[in-house]
Structure 1
Amino acid sequence: MTKYKLEYIWLDGYKPTPNLRGKTQIKEFDHFPSLEELPLWGFDGSSTEQAEGRSSDCVLKPVAVYPDPARKNGALVMCEVMMPDGVTPHPSNARATILDDEGAWFGFEQEYFFYKDGRPLGFPEHGYPAPQGPYYTGVGFKNVGDVAREIVEEHLELCLEAGINHEGINAEVAKGQWEFQIFGKGSKKAADEVWMARYLLLRLTEKYGVDIEFHCKPLGDTDWNGSGMHCNFSTKFMREVGGKDYFEALMAAFAKNLDDHIAVYGPDNHMRLTGKHETAPWNKFSYGVADRGASIRVPHSFIRNDYKGYLEDRRPNSQGDPYQIASQVLKTISEVPAKSAAAA
């Protein structure tokens, strides 16, 4: 038997954006534990905005497990938060009630800033560095510094070794800003892996003395870019049938549900979605072919393939909860009858 270090990871009850939490349990197994073998585990919800002190018990229910590449005999255990009965989802448990469909594919482009000493990594103590332009996909010390690439490369390796479907990295438009991409089939699977990748990045940067800033516009009303989490999505019908009539009906549904989307696409999005810096205004819906300034960017390949394939919603921001984002996208898609659209 081997003693395994099980890192139970969950989302707390802080609003408007939950924080990742984690604690370690040691259990003996004769092999890497399966999800079914992992026990429920309690925690003090009064310390995480999920219970009151006079009745503080909450329960962690494992929902996904990954190898922990940073620990010998380690496992990363993604959990839902349950009420003390271990059966009823806690009110803060967004994962338990979202729409899910294994035929729905999601690709999330997670942008973020490295921060050190209260400012983006590479910013001078006073003022700003040279204007945006050379930093996006940049190379060289003057563009990316001496530690950021080391961190993102190590994070990439950790994700791949954990079995997370990490699909790429690049330096972003602002200095100190980077992006990684996660792809998954099914709302829950894709979102689980985004949260786990975030967790691994936050844990990794502890040893570098660097913070991760997920706020969508950390530099406020300046000419420096904010951070998004563009959501690429498709369903089986979109990939295999599609059609112009269906696409136009889908865009009408997205326009009708604008307020519902903005409500879950991340806090403070009005600071980022201003109509400047390749963003659509938060209160106006638009779409366009290869248009980075539209709410939804339609790839050229989608049009060439008789309106089949994937679409990119550019409005979700870097703080967004991927569970809620994916669920809202699926909810809107479900309003468009695929069969009747195909018949039309």
Structure 2
Amino acid sequence: MAQILAPTMQWQTKITKSSAFAGPLSGKSWSSVVLKQRKSANTRSCRKFRVFAIKAENDVVNRLEGLLNLDVTPYTDKIIAEYIWIGGSGIDLRSKSRTISKPVQHPSELPKWNYDGSSTGQAPGEDSEVILYPQAIFKDPFRGGNNILVLCDAYTPAGEPIPTNKRARAAEIFSHPKVISEIPWYGIEQEYTLLQTNVRWPLGWPVGGYPGPQGPYYCGVGADKSFGRDISDAHYKACLYAGINISGTNGEVMPGQWEYQVGPSVGIEAGDHIWCSRYLLERITEQAGVVLTLDPKPIEGDWNGAGCHTNYSTKSMRDEGGFEVIKKAILNLSLRHQDHISAYGEGNERRLTGKHETANINTFSWGVANRGCSIRVGRDTEKQGKGYLEDRRPASNMDPYIVTSLLAETTLLWEPTLEAEALAAQKLSLKV
């Protein structure tokens, strides 16, 4: 879509009678358009510009924008609900729309729905109906008004969670009385990479070539260091509008890679907010004509991978004496290292190599302020004797329902044998 900047009010587009064209303007013809100022004494207020979109394929002015931005609230109480669910790969997102008779405030006010699971790899063709259960509501930044995004999980007609429904198991763990009493907080750092369409090569990189080595790109500023900032900023505002608890964003170490943070969120909310934030990012990159990937190592070689570092704390960790509780949690995590690794994302072995700010996938480690460890504890946590831990193992394509609930299960519900606990404490130099 070609875009033409034309000033409002004080300026107008004037095409002379001697123009070489008659009818719709072609892309080349715009160079002959002369912008002339209207004769007006009040010219200093010319500050604003409107964007006119020109359809490049047939050079017809695009009039869809007016319809897309229609405010229907004066004419109907009906709203549009976009039902969102996780597809058959466990990482892809699907959605479809339906009309609801009036605005709603809670998922319980929404009807269940169904979809063709045979088309998403989640059901056989002879019994393809999968049922959507609304679980969380967010404001829709694309349609605006009272329209909503509805995050759902999926069940069989008999009411059993389908295999890709990881939310149901997470909800069980987060509803355990011991977990509820500890009020688990999560802060999730979602990294992602933007790719050029068709060539599947990072945004800002020369096609088939490489930019300069890593160093100037992390939190960098400038056309030669920051690629895709508009997408990051648009996503940031869309999340705030939707009601997602986004807390920040920044450019990452590899050029064309970005990160945003969601949290602190309590329990199941952390997974809901990450999944909806991913949906918004997919929609925004779709509109921008850029490909989003959550691959944990999109470019092989001396380039950083993409993770989803998960900051975690319980009430006991945040209270006085919490550092000892954190060390006990680290001990438990060390004993279930392989269980966590197997659930922390596909392709993570390409990222967790012991290089590029990662620990080796086969070795559990922890340290204060050490980004080369499996678990990092911040300097402030050590100094204050309470706080949180950061699990640096999850890949960028991890399922947040799995990671958050597994952290709670391992640190709050799972009990190791005394022998295993003693051996692990000795190995990790932990006194608990």
Tell me which interval the TM-score lies in, with the shorter structure as reference length: over 0.9
Map of 1:268 onto structure 2: 347
Displacement after TM superposition at 1:58 (Å): 0.6
Q: Secondary structure at the match of 2:325?
A: helix
Task: Confirm or deny: 8 A CA contact 1:6 1:76 kept in the other structure.
Answer: yes
What is the CA–CA distance in structure 2 between the aligned matches of 1:300 and 1:70, rounded to whole Å?
Answer: 41
What is the CA–CA distance in structure 2 between the aligned matches of 1:266 and 1:241, rounded to whole Å?
Answer: 34
What is the CA–CA distance in structure 2 between the aligned matches of 1:244 and 1:57, rounded to whole Å?
Answer: 49
Displacement after TM superposition at 1:70 (Å): 1.1
**Matches of residues 284-303 of structure 1 in structure 2 within 5 Å?**
284-303=363-382
Map of 2:286 onto structure 1: 206
1:27 aligns with one of 100, 103, 126:
100
Largest Rg, 1 or 2: 2
Task: Confirm or deny: 8 A CA contact 2:317 2:387 kept in the other structure.
Answer: yes
Task: Confirm or deny: 8 A CA contact 1:250 1:336 kept in the other structure.
Answer: no
In structure 2, what residue type is equivalent to 1:97? R
Map of 2:129 onto structure 1: 57
Q: Which runs of 5+ in 2 are unaligned?
A: 1-75, 416-431
**Matches of residues 55-204 of structure 1 in structure 2 within 5 Å?**
55-72=127-144, 73-85=146-158, 87-98=159-170, 99-100=173-174, 101=179, 103-116=183-196, 117-145=199-227, 148-204=228-284
What is the CA–CA distance in structure 2 between the aligned matches of 1:11 and 1:327, rounded to whole Å?
Answer: 17
**Matches of residues 242-281 of structure 1 in structure 2 within 5 Å?**
242-281=321-360
Task: Confirm or deny: 8 A CA contact 1:137 1:172 kept in the other structure.
Answer: yes
Q: Which runs of 5+ in 1 are unaligned?
A: 338-343
Displacement after TM superposition at 1:4 (Å): 0.8
Q: What TM-score, normalized by structure 1, do the two folds share? A: 0.92
1:9 aligns with one of 84, 87, 97:
84
Number of equivalenced pairs: 330
Q: Does 1:333 align with 2:411?
A: yes
What is the CA–CA distance in structure 2 between the aligned matches of 1:311 and 1:244, rounded to whole Å?
Answer: 10
Task: Confirm or deny: 8 A CA contact 2:296 2:396 kept in the other structure.
Answer: yes
Task: Confirm or deny: 8 A CA contact 1:6 1:77 kept in the other structure.
Answer: yes
In structure 2, what residue type is equivalent to 1:91? P
What is the CA deviation profile of residues 75-110 of structure 1, one whole-angstrom value per residue up to 9, with x for unaligned ones?
Answer: 00000101113x322222110012214510001100
Displacement after TM superposition at 1:246 (Å): 3.1
Displacement after TM superposition at 1:35 (Å): 1.4
Q: Does 1:318 align with 2:396?
A: yes
In structure 1, what residue type is equivalent to 2:201? R
Displacement after TM superposition at 1:335 (Å): 4.7
Displacement after TM superposition at 1:194 (Å): 0.3
Q: Secondary structure at the match of 1:24?
A: strand
Task: Confirm or deny: 8 A CA contact 2:239 2:277 kept in the other structure.
Answer: yes
What is the CA–CA distance in structure 2 between the aligned matches of 1:94 and 1:25, rounded to whole Å?
Answer: 25
What is the CA–CA distance in structure 1 between the aligned matches of 2:387 and 2:184, rounded to whole Å?
Answer: 11
Q: What TM-score, normalized by structure 2, do the two folds share? A: 0.74
In structure 2, what residue type is equivalent to 1:287? W
Displacement after TM superposition at 1:174 (Å): 0.5
1:44 aligns with one of 116, 130, 138:
116
What is the CA deviation profile of residues 276-298 of structure 1, one whole-angstrom value per residue up to 9, with x for unaligned ones?
Answer: 01100011011111001111111
Displacement after TM superposition at 1:187 (Å): 2.8
Displacement after TM superposition at 1:22 (Å): 0.3
Displacement after TM superposition at 1:33 (Å): 4.2
In structure 2, what residue type is equivalent to 1:176? G
What is the CA–CA distance in structure 2 between the aligned matches of 1:270 and 1:218, rounded to whole Å?
Answer: 13
Task: Confirm or deny: 8 A CA contact 2:185 2:314 kept in the other structure.
Answer: yes
Cα distance change on mapping 1:184 and 1:53 into 2, 3 Å: farther
What is the CA–CA distance in structure 2 between the aligned matches of 1:110 and 1:229, rounded to whole Å?
Answer: 5
In structure 1, what residue type is equivalent to 2:147? G
Displacement after TM superposition at 1:325 (Å): 0.4
What is the CA–CA distance in structure 1 between the aligned matches of 2:251 and 2:325, rounded to whole Å?
Answer: 36
Map of 2:59 onto structure 1: none
Map of 1:341 onto structure 2: none
In structure 1, what residue type is equivalent to 2:88? G
In structure 2, what residue type is equivalent to 1:208? A
Task: Confirm or deny: 8 A CA contact 1:242 1:309 kept in the other structure.
Answer: no
Task: Confirm or deny: 8 A CA contact 2:91 2:397 kept in the other structure.
Answer: no
In structure 1, what residue type is equivalent to 2:362? N
Task: Confirm or deny: 8 A CA contact 1:249 1:336 kept in the other structure.
Answer: no
**Matches of residues 226-237 of structure 1 in structure 2 within 5 Å?**
226-237=305-316
Displacement after TM superposition at 1:49 (Å): 1.0
In structure 2, what residue type is equivalent to 1:151? I
Task: Confirm or deny: 8 A CA contact 1:112 1:213 kept in the other structure.
Answer: yes
What is the CA–CA distance in structure 1 between the aligned matches of 2:322 and 2:219, rounded to whole Å?
Answer: 35
Q: Secondary structure at the match of 2:101?
A: strand
What is the CA–CA distance in structure 2 between the aligned matches of 1:275 and 1:327, rounded to whole Å?
Answer: 26
